[in-house]
Structures are given as C-alpha cells and as structure tokens.
Amino acid sequence: MAAIEYYATGRRKTSTARVFLRPGSGAITVNHREFDKYFTTDQLRTVVRRPLLLTETGEKFDISARAIRLGIARALCEFNLELRKQLKKEGLLTSDSRVKERKKYGLAGARKRFQFSKR
C-alpha cells in the first residue's frame, strides 16, 4: 500500500527546493536535519512556516524538504486546491525573480565602470 504524499518544487536564484508533504504530526526535516537545527533564528523559522500557519495545516503534515517556502506553498495546493486563493493573496505562490546580473564586457562588473582617467 502506497503512502499518500504531495510533492512540489520551489525555486530561488539557481537553487531548487523539493518538498514532500506526508500526513503526520508536524515534524519538519530539511536536508536530513531537524528543523530547529537547520534554521537557527526565529525569523527564518517564521518565514518557512508561514504557508502552514496561514492555512492552519501545521500539525497535519510531516515535511521533508530541500529548500522551502515556495515548495511548501505549492505542495499545499497539491493537497487542497482551495488553499490556493489564500496562499496567492499572501504572495506565497510567486517565485522570486531576482537573480545576479551578469558582468558586461568593458566594465568592472554588471554596471560598475573602471575609474576614468583624463591623462
């Protein structure tokens, strides 16, 4: 008998998060480490748990993840499509499109120029 599992991915810059939701008691593991040992500050823990707190599903699932928030939100949509409206309103289903701008030829970086010398 196969266990119920909801899978989703979340991306940021060049990293990809793989998130698995399994019915359980609310245990979270990230990169095979405990949640509290991986995320050392309360601010990071709050950011990651936000989709779960918003949809009040924090105690329903055990989460196994490799990079997180967008993946959790997408996996919750796989679980129950009615949660999508609430997550979308909070901006949790939007991928962050900011990436490092490439270096341009003739410049010191993406936009920085070399120092101008008149003589």
Task: Answer yes or no: are the C-beta atoms of 77 and 87 closer than 8 Å.
Answer: yes
Residue at 50 is within a domain? yes
Q: How far is CA 18 from the centre of its chain?
A: 9
Say yes or no to pLDDT of 1 above 60.
Answer: no
What is the radius of gyration, based on Cα positions, of the chain? 19
Residue at 112 is within a domain? no
pLDDT tens digits, 73-104: 888 898 889 989 998 998 888 888 888 899 99
Residue at 103 is within a domain? no
CATH number, domain containing residue 45: 3.30.230.10
**For residue 42, what are the domain limits?**
6-89
pLDDT value of position 42:
92
Distance CA(30)–CA(68), nearest Å, equals 8
Distance CA(69)–CA(35), nearest Å, equals 13
Q: How confident is the model at residue 2 (pLDDT cuts 50, 70, 90)?
A: low
Residues paired with 20 in a beta bridge: 7, 64
Q: Model-level pTM?
A: 0.69
Number of domains in the chain: 1
Write down the mean pLDDT value for the chain. Answer: 87
